[in-house]
Structure 1
Amino acid sequence: MALTSGDPPLTQQASSPAFANRHIGIAAPADQQVMLDTLGYDTLDALVDTAVPASIRSSKALDLPPALTEEDSLAELRRLASMNVVKTQLIGQGFYGTHTPPVIRRNVLESPSWYTAYTPYQPEISQGRLEALLNFQTMVSDLTALPIANASMLDESSATAEAVLLMRRANKAAADAKTVLDSNLFPQTIKVVQGRAQALGFEVEIADLSQGLPEGPISGIVLQQPGNNGAVVDHTATIREAKDRGAMVTVVADLLALTLIVPPGEQGADVAVGNTQRFGVPLFFGGPHAAYLAVRAGLERSLPGRLVGVSKDQEGRTAYRLALQTREQHIRREKATSNICTAQALLAITASMYAVYHGPDGLEAIAKRTHAHAQNFAAALAAAGISVASETYFDTVWASVPGRAKAIVADAAAAGFNLRLVDADTVGVSFDETTTAETVEGVARVFGAELSAVDPIDSLAFPASVARTSEYLTHPIFNEIRSETQMMRYLRRLSDRDLALDRTMIPLGSCTMKLNSAAEMESISWPEFAGIHPYVPEEQSVGWRELIHRLEAWLIEITGYAGISLQPNAGSQGEYAGLLAIRGYHLANGDTERDVCLIPASAHGTNAASAVLAGMRVVVVKNTDEGAIDMADLDAKIEAHRDVLSAIMITYPSTYGVYDADVRDVCEKVHAAGGQVYIDGANMNALVGLAQPGEFGGDVSHLNLHKTFAIPHGGGGPGVGPVAVAEHLLPYLPGNPTTEGEITTGDGIPVAATVFGSAGVLPISYAYVAMMGAEGLTQASKTALLSANYIAARLREHFPVLFTGNEGLVAHECILDLRELTTKSGVTAEDVAKRLIDFGFHAPTLAFPVAGTLMVEPTESEDLGEIERFIEAMVTIRAEIDEVISGAYAVEESPLRNAPHPASVVVSDSWERPYSREQGAFPSERLRVDKYFPPVSRIDGAFGDRNLVCSCPPIEAFEE
């Protein structure tokens, strides 16, 4: 569903905008005045009027409902939630009921120490979540019997599409050959893969692979275990035939089923993908859920997404960090093989902790109980003379009921059960961890059958040849934590190793680490939201759809576009979806040759990879020394590619932290050449209430709800990246992945498995907008500008600010240039980033978009005291750099190069450094009251890449 600007306005009861005063850190007039005086402005509006070009400013205030209090917002969310109908969900199709252990729900999903953390690019302060993600990789690797697994993907369908691309990259001998999908894959997965293939121009064939492989060259095949119809199949012969034909093999596998079924790796598969949702992650109306992707040895460098690896720190201690392509994808940009922002860390951590909580025996017991329910149900059907689609199955049984399927599904719903309407003659029933004997009995009765047994069954409903005999989850972490006390303390121990937003400002430029308030977060775990299957009948999700409808309307008003889709479940996927919309528009107009995407050097780092994945050729446009788009180079690039120009991707304000005053001119030049304008909404928090990209020249923008609109980063996901478009692009918004039929030119291409993507976290953004209101949102944008300019002004004499706009002002972030200081002292931007850890700060963005710099973004939710603490830290660090320059000590022996300083180093009997322990550990007097000690010292990333280990190391590795 995509809302358009013609929908009716929404009204809500007015109330006090008190929430904005708690969200915005510098709401007190006295604090604002201190900052404005430093900047030389009398009022905040005067500052904003100078910083933001008049040519893009909105002429009217946002037309949004009056702001709600926290209490009113939660009451309205309760009302919306009550409009949803919670039934026993037996639809399956990749989404299943599960119990989230309360200790995990409260101490991970609902804990700010986990959900406010950033992607672990600074590993020394991310050891807790990196260990949890390594547990995830180990869990996936063990269950799939493949040696390397990444740290999660967005969802099962898009992960399968990534696996297809991986096979095409890795199988160079058959790179131009077709990909074959087994017809027994979930239909939404087939649809998403077909869309990816259409964008990149390769052939996909759907075939019943149980009848053998089709003729012709094949790059790779995709199988599913268990299949769409529930069948458990021995794929060994098919896999062997594919290998003999020079094809690679991916298996989409259910992790819970793999506790009982021979894993893909043991059958010879190259790749395994799937979903970890049924490992304790709520249904969430379709997401967010952590998919997984695992590969055989030799495919490590082709693996998309993030990979956690094991390395060493300066003292030789075992330490974790992101490995290999995590860094390489950023460096490669337009040559990248995937978009690095493709991950769901918080949900992967939840799933990994579910495995830690239950252990191998517990998971097997859940799988056997689920399987027994399916067997008892199948036996009841057989006794009633009802045939089933497959005699082999794990949890899903398809019943053949000629002409009666629709009536049976309706009767089941009336009895409180949601079943899958496969077609007019077939009903699917999928059992899960939450299923009880009473559930099975009730469903059987709907079919006119009687349940004859409810006891566990020792036999399996599939051949012994596919019954698993190998061990899994043998590492102690999955076998030693059984009591809630142990689990609670393990979670606390890991979170204490990290720095998240609940401890400190995370001043990351371009990543907007703002407050995610408790009132915004509270509703997402309510059963009326979290317990809804994405494929329920619309009348059961009325509350969800009303919430989504309102949020869409608000985002349309904020951006100035005509319509929007919330399907993309990451900012990276929003970029991809927006570019697909542009591509579809050109194809519908017969402009089949338009495939060049211009990307300024100042654009967001993920843009180039997204353009490549959308089938476009990237041409980089230069920037001037002042940070603006080089108009002469733009003119030259447009002229050189006029007949094939598809789009330009602009980040606005630019990643250089500057409002380009000539953005309208850029848009007009591209439009005149027949191209479309993509305005990356990553920095929308500097525009909300001030300017609308859909009004000043954009044809399409994606937004990052996990940045501007308060959905937390969760250590690297969840995210939502809705794509908003102008009127002429409405037909090309992402399509419904569950509709039948081929995707044709001009259709909207689905990018995820469900219509609303990661719907489960949308109440967060809904509550944020509802409680902030138009005035609060606009004030937030203005305050972000105030804070960034205050930091720039206070630090300019210590660290040059690289790019500025009108009157020397920046936008919502500023770039501190350390390159000259590095030349004089040898102290690098990375040294400064690591030294900030000793002050209890997460580092700003390191070396992007300009190597040798730090990009700082304070956001609107930080108070003046915290901003002053950061300034004090940076000034102190500059003094330490000056000590190196003066020769007080060599850079190799300085506190900067030896940072960070763990407690174990500071209190050790050996201290031979030329500076004192006090300077190392307590560079600021205020740290004596509240000091964070990192668990490890600086990590050797190169060692980890040379000695790649991406699963849990043995306990002996942690011994000194």
Structure 2
Amino acid sequence: MNPVNMENISAHRFTDGKPNLRRYQQARWDEPVIFELSQPGERALLTPELEPAIEAAAHDVLFTLPPGMRRKLAPALPELSQNRVLRHYLRLSQETLGADFNVDVGQGTCTMKYNPKVNEHLARDARMSELHPLQDESTVQGILHVMHEMEGVLKEVSGMDAVSLQPRSGSQAIYANLAMIRAWFEARGEAGERDEIITTIFSHPSDAACAKVLGYKVITLYPDAEGYPDLAAMQAAVGPRTAALIITNPEDTGIFNAKIREFVAAAHGVGALACYDQANANGLLGITRAREAGFDLSHFNLHKTFSTPHACGGPAVGACAVTAALAPFLPRPVIVKEPDGRYRIEQGGERSIGKVAAFMGTASIVLRAYAWVMNLGAAGLREVAEIAVLNNNYMMAQLLKIRGLSAPYAPGKRRIEQVRYSWAELCAETGVHSGDIGLRAADYGVHYWTSHHPYVVPEPATIEPTESYSRADLDEFAQIMSRVADEARADPEMLRSAPHNCPTRRIDESCLDDPKRWAITWRGWQRKLAEHGVATPTAMDRAF
């Protein structure tokens, strides 16, 4: 074949030897919700008929339920053939961005990292997936062993003496830690006086929210001129009403507070406790520990630090770690290892705060995290932290080359595992907001997050590379940000109307404050349509 007539199909990918941004157009399906696809009589699979002997032995199990719990009508479930179910969910999957699909460094404090697929296979193995939490403990020794060993790992990582894996999320772990703090002071007869929790504006918002749910008054510390939590303000805030300090370090700006021991000492000096929100420990594994800073309690998000799925906000795992003095207050039940090496589940506990979630927590998530830890070992965990910090500071060096983007606070200082940037200069120049930039970034197939409210950093963008991404990945993301900034100057209206290559366009967010205009379930939506006299044409709609 004459090579002159051949086309270099990769030529568009490079300019002067450097990679260009890849072309991207996301699938857009006018895909109904699954209830609308329902056709009476369709089946995805046929279940075997009940054997007469089993039916005779079991009788009608529904009638063993109390009358008030029995359905009057069968549930109105969608009826679809197997291939239509498959098409439906594959189409929906094409309309999403996710950690397995794109460079997901723009998720900020939520920490999206790669979840090794071998760990997914472990969790889906029938020996795991078919376990039931009500099985006799003699039949679940394997998973109890794994959970007990994972508790030991977290004790080593935190320096604490006891761990509970029961909470199903980071926020639930924060709640559990604060509930233990309250129980600690109740046991000492001080709960009535100790009604204040101190936190910082750049700690995770759940710290303040959970304290408020438990009835505490929340005192929020703001940063000093350099962006560090104000130690003088902390020393002025503590007193006989202080129950605890709960703080994230590094904070969501990525700045590590080197004076953290002094903050802990200020709390201890007035008889208060100190709680470390270490949900994201990606930059600290094997380097610093909560115990050495003097903390009494800590927690980790296994779905942030230990590479397990977020599971759509839950059920994940938030692990509580405490000193020996606080161990009696941990949620129950707990796993106890007997001298003969067997494990048992211990209920009770006079001073325990009780259950914060059903059973022992999310066992399959613990298994994934345990497999990840065992694969890496102690040296590997430290390497995770080192690469996360390296990636973050490399990314910061690349992004700060972009005109209009800055990293407020701590000028010239390195950050740990993330940075909260500001597009304030670009916004002043073009009128384009950080949210517009995020939506335009989706047109290039990447995710981008602004920050928690309130926007203390104006026009914020929170970027966290983690250890999962290569230098090429980081360069690609930085190049996208640079391109979008150039587009904002050239055609700001194009950014204000983004995204353009995605399945959905901008939504009217005003409806979010009007519950009459939305519903969280299809059934609820149909009821609202009926209330307004709007016809519901499908068979499934009529079934409701």
TM range (shorter): 0.7 to 0.9
How many Å separate the matches in 1 of 2:451 and 2:197? 27
Is the partner of 1:489 in helix, strand or coil?
helix
Residue 835 in 1 paired to residue 440 in 2?
A: yes
User: How far apart, in 2, do the equivalents of 1:740 and 1:503 lie?
Assistant: 43
- Asked if residue 498 in structure 1 is aligned to residue 96 in structure 2, the reply is yes
Asked if structure 1 preserves the Cα contact closer than 8 Å seen for 2:199 and 2:218, the reply is: yes
Q: Does residue 518 of structure 1 match 2:117?
A: yes
DSSP-derived class of the 1:536 partner: coil
Displacement of 1:771 in angstroms is: 0.6
User: Does structure 2 retain, via aligned residues, the 8 Å contact 1:657–1:803?
Assistant: no
SS class of match (1:727): coil
Q: State the distance in 2 between where 1:718 and 1:817 align.
A: 33
Q: Distance in 2 between matches of 1:626 and 1:688?
A: 26
SS of the aligned residue for 1:684 comes to: coil
In the alignment, structure 1 residue 823 sits paired with structure 2 residue 393: no
> Please, which of 44, 58, 66 is the counterpart of residue 377 of structure 1?
58
Structure 1: state its 5+ residue gaps. Answer: 1-123, 140-355, 380-392, 398-460, 884-888, 903-933
Question: After superposition, where does 1:61-72 map in structure 2 within 5 Å?
Answer: none
**Is residue 939 of structure 1 aligned with residue 507 of structure 2?**
yes
State the Cα distance separating 1:531 from its structure 2 match. 1.7
Partner residue in 1 for 2:159:
560
Distance 1:810 1:498, change over 3 A: same
Task: Look up the equivalent residue of 1:811 and give its one-letter code.
Answer: I
**In structure 2, C-alpha distance between the alignment counterparts of 1:760 and 1:362, rounded to whole Å:** 30
Structure 2 residue corresponding to 1:898, chosen from 497, 500, 503: 497
Distance 2:124 2:311 in 1: 15
Paired with 1:485 and 1:877, the residues of 2 have a C-alpha distance of 40
Q: Does 1:536 align with 2:152?
A: no
Q: 1:632 to 1:957 in 2, by over 3 A?
A: farther
Which of 628, 650, 659 aligns to 2:228? It is 628
Which letter maps to 2:461?
L
Distance in 2 separating the partners of 1:373 and 1:951: 37
Match of 2:541 in 1: none
Task: Show the counterpart of 1:789.
Answer: 393
1:956 to 1:823, Cα distance in 2 relative to 1, 3 A: farther
Contact 1:126 1:498 in 2 (8 A): no
Inter-partner Cα distance in structure 1 for 2:310 and 2:451:
18
TM-align CA RMSD = 3.5
- Name the SS for the 1:808 alignment partner: coil
Which aligned pairs between 1:100-249 and structure 2 lie closer than 5 A? none
Q: 1:360 to 1:760 in 2, by over 3 A?
A: farther
Query: Residues 739 and 516 (structure 1 numbering): CA distance in 2 closer, same or farther, change over 3 Å?
Result: closer
Deviation at 1:536, TM superposition (A): 2.0
Q: Between the two proteins, what is the percent identity of the paired residues?
A: 29
Listed one character per residue, the Cα deviations across residues 351-386 of structure 1 (whole Å, up to 9, x for unaligned) are xxxxx99989979x99x979x96875359xxxxxxx
Structure 1 counterpart SS, 2:325: helix
**CA offset at residue 715 of structure 1?**
3.2
1:602 aligns with 2:202: yes
In the aligned structure 1, how far is the partner of 2:300 from the partner of 2:71? 46
Question: Judging changes above 3 Å, is the alpha-carbon distance between structure 1 residues 374 and 575 closer, same or farther for their aligned structure 2 residues?
Answer: farther
Q: For the Cα contact (< 8 Å) 1:830–1:846, is it kept in 2?
A: no
Q: Is the 8 A contact 2:317 2:362 kept in 1?
A: yes
- Retained in 2: the 8 A contact 1:562–1:727? yes
Residues in 2 aligned to 1:509 and 1:775: alpha-carbon distance in whole angstroms: 26
Tell me if structure 2 keeps the 8 A contact 1:652–1:683: no
Paired residues of 2:400 and 2:407 also in contact (CA < 8 A): no
2:27, 2:503 within 8 Å by CA — same for their partners in 1? no
Could you give the per-residue CA deviations for residues 133-161 of structure 1, whole angstroms, max 9, x where no partner exists? x76xx89xxxxxxxxxxxxxxxxxxxxxx
What is the CA–CA distance in structure 2 between the aligned matches of 1:672 and 1:125, rounded to whole Å?
57
Instruction: Check 1:740–1:853 CA distance in 2 against 1; reply closer, same or farther (3 A cut).
Output: closer
Q: 2:487 aligns with which of 855, 876, 880?
A: 880
Secondary structure of the residue that 2:291 maps to in structure 1? coil
Q: Partner of 2:266 in structure 1?
A: 669
Partner of 2:8: none
The alpha carbon displacement at 1:683 in A equals: 2.0
2: CA distance, partners of 1:828 / 1:585: 46
C-alpha offsets along residues 396-451 of structure 1, whole Å, 9 cap, x if unaligned? 47xxxxxxxxxxxxxxxxxxxxxxxxxxxxxxxxxxxxxxxxxxxxxxxxxxxxxx
Structure 1's 838 and 646: CA in aligned 2 closer, same or farther, altered over 3 A? same
Distance 1:563 1:395, change over 3 A: farther
Q: Matched residue of 2:293: which SS? A: coil
Q: Return the alpha-carbon distance in structure 2 between the equivalents of residues 567 and 126 of structure 1.
A: 39
Deviations 1:564-588 (A, max 9, x none): 0111111111111111121222222
- Could you tell me which residue of structure 2 aligns to residue 698 of structure 1? 295
Cα distance in structure 2, aligned partners of 1:369 and 1:618: 58
Cα gap change, 1:395/1:564 in structure 2, threshold over 3 Å: closer, same or farther?
farther
Call closer, same or farther: CA 1:570–1:862 in 2, change over 3 Å: same
Map 1:614-625 → 2, pairs under 5 A: 614-625=214-225
d(CA) in 2 for partners of 1:700, 1:125: 45
Q: Offset of 1:527 from its aligned partner?
A: 1.9
Shift of 1:547: 1.0
Q: How many residues align?
A: 485
1:949 Cα shift? 3.7
CA shift for structure 1 position 599: 1.2
Paired position in structure 2 for 1:716:
313
The residue type paired with residue 852 of structure 1 is E
The aligned counterpart of 1:864 is 471
| Aligned-partner SS, 1:619 | strand
Give matches, 1:333-412, under 5 Å: 376-377=57-58, 394=62, 396=64
Distance apart, 1:619 and its partner CA: 1.4
Equivalent AA in structure 1 for residue 505 of structure 2 = S
Q: Which whole-Å CA distance do the structure 1 matches of 2:506 and 2:356 have between them?
A: 39
DSSP 3-state at the match of 2:421: strand
Aligned to 2:282, the other structure's residue is in SS state helix
Q: Is the 8 A contact 1:658 1:803 kept in 2?
A: no
How far apart in 2 are the matches of 1:579 and 1:590? 17
Query: Are 1:951 and 2:521 an aligned pair?
Result: yes
Which deviations, in whole Å up to 9, do the C-alpha atoms of 1:111-144 show, x marking residues without a partner? xxxxxxxxxxxxx99999xx99x76xx89xxxxx
CA shift, 1:748, in A, is 3.3
Who is 1:527 aligned against? 126
Instruction: Output the amino acid matched with 1:542.
Output: Q
Report how far residue 804 of structure 1 moved: 5.0
Equivalent residue for 1:687, pick from 284, 287, 294: 284
- Aligned: 1:588 with 2:187: yes
CA drift of 1:945 comes to: 4.3
- Separation of aligned partners in 1, 2:152 and 2:57: 48
Matched, 1:777 2:381: yes
**Is the 1:360–1:473 contact (alpha carbons within 8 Å) kept by the matching residues of 2?**
no
- In the aligned structure 1, how far is the partner of 2:147 from the partner of 2:27? 34
Deviation at 1:491, TM superposition (A): 1.4
Give the secondary-structure state (helix, strand or coil) at the position aligned to 2:496: coil
SS state at 1:875 partner: helix
Change (3 A) 1:861 1:956: farther
Residue 354 (structure 2) aligns with: 749
1:730 Cα deviation from its structure 2 partner: 0.7
SS of the residue 2:327 aligns to:
helix
Q: Could you say which residue in structure 2 is the equivalent of 1:65? A: none
Structure 2 gaps of 5+ residues are 1-24, 335-344, 527-533, 538-544
- Given residue 407 of structure 2, which amino acid in structure 1 is its aligned partner? L
Counterparts of 2:207 and 2:366 in 1: how far apart (Å)?
Answer: 24
Post-superposition Cα deviations, 1:260-308, rounded to whole Å, max 9, x if no partner, equal xxxxxxxxxxxxxxxxxxxxxxxxxxxxxxxxxxxxxxxxxxxxxxxxx
**Contact 1:596–1:647 (CA<8 Å) still a contact in 2?**
yes
- The offset of 1:551, in angstroms, is 1.2
Where does residue 473 of structure 1 map in the other structure? Answer: 76
Counterparts of 2:28 and 2:450, CA distance in 1: 19
Counterpart amino acid of residue 951 in structure 1: T
Look up the equivalent residue of 1:493 and give its one-letter code.
Answer: R
Q: Does the Cα contact within 8 Å between 1:600 and 1:629 map onto a contact in 2?
A: yes
TM-score, normalised on structure 1?
0.47
Indicate conservation of the 8 Å contact 1:657/1:804, yes or no: no
